[in-house]
Amino acid sequence: MRIIELNVRGTRRRLKKRRVAVRTPGGKVVYHYKAKRHGPARCAICKKPLNATPTGPRSFMKKLPKSKKRPNRPYGGYLCPSCFRKIVLKEALREGEILIKGGISVT
Ligand SMILES: [Zn+2]
C-alpha cells in the first residue's frame, strides 16, 4: 500500500483533517482523512522549540486561557528566553549609546 500526501489547496485547505491518498490492494486510490499533526511553536531566531507553548487541535486550544498558551512576558511565545535576553541587552546598549552621544539629558 502506497501512501501519497497531498498538498491540498484552496477551500480544502480549511478542512479540519488532513487528506491522504491511499492505494488499496485492488488498485484504487481512495482518500483517507486523518487528524492534522501539530508541530511545536518555535523561536523566530534560533528555531528551537519553545517551552510552555502547548499545541493541539483548535478545539483544544480554544478552551485554554491566554495565559496558558504562551509565557506572559514581552515576545512570549515568539522568542526563546536566550534570544529574548540578547535582544533586550542590544536595545539597552543602543539606548545608552544614544544618551552618551546626545549628552546626558534624562527627563
Ligand atoms: Zn531563540
CA 42 to centroid of ligand 1, rounded, Å: 8
Residue 53 neighbours by CB under 8 Å, 6+ apart? 40, 41, 69, 70, 71, 77
Single out the residue of 104, 53, 56, 51 nearest to residue 82, CA to CA: 51
Q: What is the pLDDT of residues 22-75, one digit of tens each?
A: 999 999 999 888 887 888 999 999 999 999 899 988 888 999 999 999 999 999
Q: Which three cell numbers stand for residue 28?
A: 484504487
Q: How many structural domains is the chain composed of?
A: 2
- Angle at alpha carbon of residue 45, lines to 56 and 98, rounded to 5°: 135
CA 37 to centroid of ligand 1, rounded, Å: 23
Burial of residue 33 (CB within 10 Å: 0-12, 13-18, 19+) is exposed
Residues 88, 57 share a domain: yes
Residues 52, 1 share a domain: no
Does the pTM surpass 0.85? The reply is: no
- Domain of 20 in residue numbering reads as 1-37
Which has more confidence, 44 or 97?
44
Residues 91, 47 share a domain: yes
